């Protein structure tokens, strides 16, 4: 790994990754019990367990800006002031930094901690709840950290939390999220990965080919062509019937990322409810389903996979008529 002053200077002017551009609102002390899905998920902060710590990708106050350009400008200005000793830190040796969540941890002596605290609504000492794949655990924010990825020249702002009760397995890497209050998921915290039978699987596949028109690209020889199909059963717009979320891709045997793909949601009669995404750089591959806000509907949890990086997203029903889905997005790690 080569560390050069120029790459750090350049980092102040690059666009921040998509999840850090997302708009978040500071969680209210007590979210209303009957909050709509969009209102509930606006309080959710994504994060992860890595290297024995709980990290939350907290937003800046400027992330509430109306335009993408304003958000990017706000984040560039924030990191410029939050790390005033950037160049001095970059002179350290390649083995002198601790590994963080998506980058190296910048030590406190290189940061303006008062400026960091003043520019986010997530304060040290604040209490939140996190959802892991096992339970809901109360935590308290104990510090702020800034991490830097030399590979992508990207800064990340995190709140680090410690459990105040309950059990968290810190050595098990996983995606988590936090809010001021989360419904108890009991024994259903783990993702469900129920799959349909063979007949239903073929009907789900037919939608991708016949209706959504996913075809092989012309530059893939016939003998190199293959397909990927992932399907999970859940309840996405109605709690009283089985529905399906699927990822379908046609690609080369040697390169799953080079090809055409679509991620879509079908009703119980295999009619199309919504397309979550298709043919973009990050492929939305369903990881499982689970109800997050306790409304009886499942959210769709996705690994967002690209050739040189990965992210994660959680998709929820944002509008019922016509049905459409919104997402909470985790930080993107990659070039």
Looking at the structure, do residues 162 and 215 belong to the same domain, yes or no? no
Looking at the structure, do residues 278 and 173 belong to the same domain, yes or no? no
Q: Say if 324 falls within a structural domain.
A: yes
Domain of residue 90: give its range.
5-186
Q: What is the arithmetic mean of pLDDT over 2-25?
A: 40
Query: In the prediction, which pLDDT does 28 show?
Result: 41
Looking at the structure, do residues 139 and 168 belong to the same domain, yes or no? yes
**% residues pLDDT > 90 (the chain):** 70
Looking at the structure, do residues 40 and 149 belong to the same domain, yes or no? yes
Looking at the structure, do residues 181 and 306 belong to the same domain, yes or no? no
For the chain, the domain total comes to: 2
Over the stretch 241-284, which tens digit does the pLDDT of each residue have?
A: 999 999 999 999 998 888 899 999 999 999 999 999 999 999 99
Looking at the structure, do residues 177 and 211 belong to the same domain, yes or no? no
Looking at the structure, do residues 179 and 210 belong to the same domain, yes or no? no
Looking at the structure, do residues 48 and 70 belong to the same domain, yes or no? yes
Q: Which of 149, 166, 186 is the last residue of a domain?
A: 186
Over the stretch 299-325, which tens digit does the pLDDT of each residue have?
A: 999 999 999 999 999 999 999 999 999
Looking at the structure, do residues 159 and 273 belong to the same domain, yes or no? no
Looking at the structure, do residues 158 and 128 belong to the same domain, yes or no? yes
Looking at the structure, do residues 9 and 126 belong to the same domain, yes or no? yes
Q: Say if 193 falls within a structural domain.
A: no
Looking at the structure, do residues 126 and 204 belong to the same domain, yes or no? no
Query: Using CA atoms, how far apart are residues 231 and 291, in angstroms rounded to an integer?
Result: 17
Question: Which tokens is 73 given?
Answer: 């400008």
Q: What is the arithmetic mean of pLDDT over 154-163?
A: 96
pLDDT, averaged across the chain? 87
Q: Which of 186, 216, 231 is the last residue of a domain?
A: 186
Over the stretch 209-241, which tens digit does the pLDDT of each residue have?
A: 999 999 999 999 999 999 999 999 999 999 999
Q: Say if 192 falls within a structural domain.
A: no
Q: Which of 186, 220, 244 is the last residue of a domain?
A: 186
Over the stretch 35-81, which tens digit does the pLDDT of each residue have?
A: 799 999 999 999 999 888 999 999 999 887 668 888 888 899 999 99
């Amino acid at each position: 790994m080569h560390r050069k002053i120029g790459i750090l200077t350049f980092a102040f002017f690059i666009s921040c990754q998509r999840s850090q551009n997302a708009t978040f609102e500071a969680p209210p002390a007590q979210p209303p019990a009957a909050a709509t899905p969009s209102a509930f998920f606006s309080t959710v902060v994504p994060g992860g367990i890595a290297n024995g710590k709980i990290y939350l990708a907290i937003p800046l106050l400027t992330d509430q800006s109306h335009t993408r350009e304003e958000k990017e400008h706000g984040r560039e200005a924030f990191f410029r002031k939050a790390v005033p000793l950037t160049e001095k830190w970059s002179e350290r040796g390649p083995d002198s930094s601790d590994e963080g969540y998506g980058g190296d941890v910048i030590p406190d002596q290189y940061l303006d901690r008062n400026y960091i605290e003043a520019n986010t609504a997530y304060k040290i000492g604040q209490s939140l709840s996190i959802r892991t794949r096992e339970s809901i655990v109360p935590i308290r924010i104990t510090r702020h950290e800034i991490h830097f990825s030399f590979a992508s020249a990207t800064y990340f702002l995190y709140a680090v939390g410690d459990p105040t009760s309950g059990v968290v397995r810190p050595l098990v890497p996983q995606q988590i999220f936090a809010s001021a209050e989360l419904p108890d998921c009991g024994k259903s915290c783990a993702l469900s990965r129920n799959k349909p039978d063979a007949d239903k699987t073929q009907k789900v596949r037919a939608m991708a080919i016949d209706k959504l028109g996913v075809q092989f690209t012309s530059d893939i020889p016939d003998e190199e062509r293959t397909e990927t199909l992932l399907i999970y059963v859940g309840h996405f717009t109605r709690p009283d019937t089985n529905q399906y979320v699927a990822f379908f891709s046609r690609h080369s045997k040697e390169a799953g990322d080079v090809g055409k793909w679509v991620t879509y949601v079908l009703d119980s009669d295999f009619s199309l409810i919504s397309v979550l995404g298709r043919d973009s750089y990050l492929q939305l591959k369903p990881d499982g389903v689970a109800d997050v806000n306790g409304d009886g509907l499942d959210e769709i949890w996705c690994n967002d996979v690209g050739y040189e990086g990965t992210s994660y997203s959680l998709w929820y029903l944002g509008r019922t008529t016509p049905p459409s889905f919104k997402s909470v997005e985790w930080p993107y790690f990659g070039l």
